[in-house]
Amino acid sequence: MAVIASTALLVTEHRNQQLDLLRTALSVVVDPLKYLVNAPTELVQHASESVSSYVALKKENERLREEQLIHQTQLLKFEALEKENIRLRALLENSFKLGEQVLIAELLSVNMAPYEHIVVVNKGTRFGVHPQQPVLDANGVVGQVFRALPFTSEIMLITDLNHAIPVQVNRNGLLTIAVGSGQLNRLNLPFLPSNADIRPGDLLITSGLGGTFPQGYPVATVDEFTSQPNKPFANITATPKAQLDRNRELMIVWSKSTPVPLITKPVPPVTEPVTTSTTPVPAEAEPVPAVKKPVPPVSKPVLPVKKIARPVAKPAVVPEADADE
């Protein structure tokens, strides 16, 4: 009986993912265990934080403040550059992509399976996480959401044996695929010929092909290039930029996969910063976002990155929407 039942389950899930509901239900029973196992680690961390000295804290605070200032100034420039980029793209009659939203998730220190690089974080479908979302840290791409459960989600790292990520050499735009090696500090690039223009030290960024990862995030640096004379492909290895074994905080990203359609005006109101959107806007410019939210399930916990069209109720638009009904 049990054998038949479990075989049936195995076959069903292997063929297609129809059992998500059952898994979700069971995960509600099991997920507290993950938090329980994580508790001692968190306790130790909390304790070490609360006994750290005043001087050390002050020093860290100073350092962070400086860092923040630098980043802020860089962002100022970034805003201007992005505007310019949008204008130029509009001149070229090209579409552009909206920014991304991120959600910060914390790693739970549990060990799922020794041979797979899958980690668990403390945010799940309750926060709107869904499978195949890209996950980043401060330095680069970490992986993608593999399975989202209500209270936790499982994230497959880019170094997992079953993971591959489309990348591009930043220097010359050479496209290839980086495959996980099963070791936390190594990626393989098995599909490049021996005469490919790639050198140790080259930065690999996401190419945006495949649609899972947004374009332009750093993935790894090439550290070894060995051409194998008797084989068609070279032996290239790279080191991931993200600190896969050290980070406790990860960022889950919502990227707008559909590009914003062609714009006719040089400065569209979509990209206006939130602070200026309270000024009266021409009513025909953006009637739609005021009525329905762009990303409804994630609106509460998500920290907006600079350029997101927030569902701000514009005084100039809402009455008009009522008048339509």
Partner 1 sequence: MNDNYYGFGRIIFTLLVAMCLRIAPWPADLATFNPDWVLLSLIYWSLAVPERVGIFHAWTFGLLTDVLTGRLFGQYALAYSLVIYICLKLHKRLRQFPVIQQGLFIFFCLLLSQLLLFLIKNIQNPAQLRATFWLPVFTGTFCWPLVYTVLRFVRLARRIK
Binding test (CB under 8 A) with partner 1, winner from 23, 46, 58, 293: 23
Under the criterion CB under 8 A, does residue 114 sit at the interface with partner 1?
A: yes
219 closest CA partner among 131, 322, 140? 140
45 touches partner 1 (CB under 8 A) = no
Q: Which stretch binds partner 1 (CB under 8 A): 26-34, 48-56, 133-141, 236-244?
A: 26-34
Q: Segment 54-113, which members bind partner 1 (CB under 8 A)? A: 109-113
Kindly state the number of chain residues that form the binding site for partner 1, as judged by CB under 8 A.
38
| Alpha carbon distances (Å) from 304 to 46, 99, 125, 272 | 28, 9, 19, 13
Rounded Cα distance, 248 and 122, in Å? 11
Closer by beta carbon to partner 1, 227 or else 243: 243
Positive/negative CA dihedral, 157, 161, 165, 169 = positive
**Using CA atoms, how far apart are residues 150 and 26, in angstroms rounded to an integer?**
10
Q: How far is the CB of 180 from partner 1 (least distance, A)?
A: 11
φ/ψ of 281, rounded to 5, equals: -110, 150
Told to check if 164 binds partner 1 by CB under 8 A, we report no
CA-based R_g, the chain, Å = 23
Cβ neighbours of 251 (radius 10 Å)? 19
Candidates 16, 115, 323, 325; binder of partner 1 (CB under 8 A) is: 115
CA torsion angle 7 10 16 18 (round to 10): 90
Is the CB of 74 or the CB of 183 nearer to partner 1? 183
Please report whether residue 21 would count as binding partner 1 according to CB under 8 A. no
Residue closer to partner 1, measured from CB, 14 or 77: 14
Q: Which one, 117 or 314, has the nearer CB to partner 1? A: 117
The answer to whether the beta carbons of residues 297 and 128 sit under 8 Å apart is yes
Binding site for partner 1 (CB under 8 A): 1-3, 5-10, 12-14, 19, 22-23, 26-27, 29-30, 33-34, 36-38, 41, 109-115, 118, 146-147, 154, 161-162
